[in-house]
Amino acid sequence: MTSYFTKDHEWVRVDGDAAYVGITDYAQSQLGDVVYVELPEVGKTFAKGDDAAVVESVKAASDVYAPVSGVVVGVNGALEASPAMINEAAETDGWFLKLTLTEPGELEGLLDEAAYRAFVETL
């Protein structure tokens, strides 16, 4: 799988035309203890930049934006029962949704891991 990142601190991990979306470890560290997530319905279509999910912590609520366009084919239901999973494994098991890509070319506008880590160093 290939990973891409946004400057809004979302990640997308791509395997063929399937894309898993979540927030970065940096984002979860800024939020603090996550207490609630709102996930989209399977079948919902997003354009790049659309509000795709909501994550709430003891500090703040934040939208999770779709880093690429696609159709939701799955959500991580385990997050609803255990939202703290995002704090524990933001960039692995703490994924929010799975999309089927509708505009794969949009991946070219995202950051690779090295570029994202360099970006975070400037914050």
Domains in the chain, ordered, with CATH?
Answer: 2-103 (2.40.50.100)
Question: What is the mean pLDDT of the segment spanning 2-28?
Answer: 97
- List, in sequence order, the alpha helices (H) in 1-123: 25-31, 78-81, 85-89, 113-121
Residue 89 pLDDT level (bands cut at 50, 70, 90):
very high
State residue 61's pLDDT score.
Answer: 93
The CA distance from 42 to 85, in Å, is 21
**Span 33-82, pLDDT tens digits:** 999 999 999 999 999 999 999 999 999 999 999 999 999 999 999 999 99
Asked if residue 8 lies in contact with residue 63, where contact means CB atoms within 8 angstroms, the answer is: no
State residue 109's pLDDT score.
Answer: 94
